[in-house]
Amino acid sequence: MYGHYKDFTGNHAFITMIYNEKKTREDSMNWRKSTLLVLSLCLSHSSFAFDFSKKASKECSPVDLRASLGAVRNQGSAGWCFAYATAELLSYKIEKKISAAELALNFYIKMPEMPRGDFLSSVAGGNDMGAMTYSSNGFCAEEDMPSENYKVPKECLKSGKALETLDIIRLIENIHQTMPSTLTACQVNIVSSLFKNLNASEIQAKLLDRKLTSLEKISDLKDTNCAAKRIKPAKKLKMRSGLESHDNSILDIDKQLDVKNPVSLNYNANFLVKNSNPNEIGNHYSVIVGRRKSASSCQYLIRNSWGPDCSIYPAPFNTQCEQGNIWVDENVLLKSIIDVHFMQ
């Protein structure tokens, strides 16, 4: 699972969770079944026999769905791309920006197979199906539980580094471990920047409760924060898998784009990473929100979750990038696809 972040020197870096390429397809499928909804896999190209001669001929009619989604999100150093992709699909369907942070925390808190503390890792993974499964009681709006752009006093920031969701969760873990008699003003400000609807007294009471585990504290903060404004769609939404074989996955994407429905894409994103190791397979989730005809190919618009900066991408994708949305040729996309999901 790719997590994109700026380190303390201001340089861009990428974290990759690598799955053992020596696994056969049978081994990897058994692993997926045995772990249910645990981590999405990082599979090698050899796991699937793509037949590029079977691509369907089509008109490649133009589609562009990004306008209703606003600015591209930035997952920062958290390996939560699956939650960001799910939040984008939900936001499109509900017409209300949904919190990616809450979807990720639901997944990690409620999934019994998740090893303790793994969600604090920059390379933590997950999947969009699980993000939906563990958010069955409705959704929290981004304005009530932001996933980025946290507003805190400058004196509360270390070295001027922008605050990320993982920083806030790690602070909560640290408070739980040290259990101070009271919280500082900065600690309250930082925690309240994530849980916007809670006051200082509520935050103090939750975090200093010695009867609760750290995960229970995070869960309580999240649920109390979102309870009064939780969004429940009139129609129950479900995440569906594509019906085509892997070598025809592009057909699933086209079918959804034809009816103006964005697609969650699980793929090897190494081609979007500067100086990536071609022998490593980087599992990542993004959303397909567009299609157009280029001079030589049908192109698809990948809405990534690494922010709007196009300079982070290698050529030629840095010039095919528009505020964090990247146009990718069909043959490049098809080679990278692991699976596709969509929401109904």
Identify whether residues 62 and 163 lie together within a single domain: no
Whether 149 is in a domain gets the answer no
Number of domains in the chain: 2
| Better-scored residue on pLDDT, 10 or 178 | 178
**pLDDT of 36:** 33
**pLDDT of 24:** 31
User: How far is Cα 315 from Cα 271, in angstroms, rounded to an integer?
Assistant: 10
Identify whether residues 101 and 13 lie together within a single domain: yes
* Per-residue confidence band for 56, with pLDDT thresholds at 50, 70 and 90: very low
pLDDT at 73 over 50: yes
**Pairing state of beta strands 337-343 and 321-322?**
unpaired
Whether 148 is in a domain gets the answer no
* Per-residue confidence band for 122, with pLDDT thresholds at 50, 70 and 90: low
Whether 145 is in a domain gets the answer no
Average pLDDT of the segment spanning 290-313? 96
pLDDT at 240 over 70: yes
**pLDDT of 1:** 54
Whether 144 is in a domain gets the answer no
Whether 18 is in a domain gets the answer yes
pLDDT at 6 over 90: no
* Per-residue confidence band for 104, with pLDDT thresholds at 50, 70 and 90: very high
Average pLDDT of the segment spanning 306-323? 97
pLDDT at 26 over 60: no
Identify whether residues 244 and 306 lie together within a single domain: yes
Q: Of the residues 227, 243, 266, which one is the last residue of a structural domain? A: 227
| Better-scored residue on pLDDT, 47 or 268 | 268
Whether 275 is in a domain gets the answer yes
Identify whether residues 243 and 280 lie together within a single domain: yes
**pLDDT of 128:** 82
Residue 58's domain is classified under what CATH number? 3.90.70.10
**pLDDT of 250:** 94
Percent of the chain's residues with pLDDT above 70: 79
Whether 267 is in a domain gets the answer yes
Identify whether residues 110 and 220 lie together within a single domain: no
Identify whether residues 123 and 55 lie together within a single domain: yes
Average pLDDT of the segment spanning 226-237? 92
Q: Of the residues 227, 242, 274, which one is the last residue of a structural domain? A: 227
- Mean per-residue pLDDT over the chain, rounded: 82
pLDDT at 47 over 50: no
Ramachandran area for residue 323 (φ above 0: left; ψ -120 to 50: alpha; else beta) = left
* Per-residue confidence band for 2, with pLDDT thresholds at 50, 70 and 90: low
The domain containing residue 221 runs over which residues?
154-227
Identify whether residues 313 and 186 lie together within a single domain: no
pLDDT at 40 over 50: no
**pLDDT of 109:** 84
Instruction: Specify the pTM.
Output: 0.83
Identify whether residues 121 and 269 lie together within a single domain: yes
**Crossing angle of the two packed helices 200-207 and 214-227, in degrees rounded to 10:** 150
Identify whether residues 105 and 176 lie together within a single domain: no
| Better-scored residue on pLDDT, 11 or 192 | 192
Identify whether residues 160 and 96 lie together within a single domain: no
Identify whether residues 36 and 167 lie together within a single domain: no
Instruction: Pull the structure tokens for residue 110.
Output: 């409620």
For the chain, give the number of residues.
Answer: 344
Q: Which of 207, 204, 229, 205 is nearest to 216 (CA)?
A: 207
| Better-scored residue on pLDDT, 115 or 89 | 89
**pLDDT of 197:** 98
Whether 147 is in a domain gets the answer no
Q: Of the residues 199, 227, 255, which one is the last residue of a structural domain? A: 227
Identify whether residues 252 and 135 lie together within a single domain: yes
pLDDT at 10 over 50: no
Percent of the chain's residues with pLDDT above 90: 64
**pLDDT of 282:** 80
| Better-scored residue on pLDDT, 332 or 29 | 332
* Per-residue confidence band for 115, with pLDDT thresholds at 50, 70 and 90: low
> pLDDT tens, 124-181?
678 888 888 778 789 999 999 999 999 999 999 987 788 999 999 999 999 999 999 9
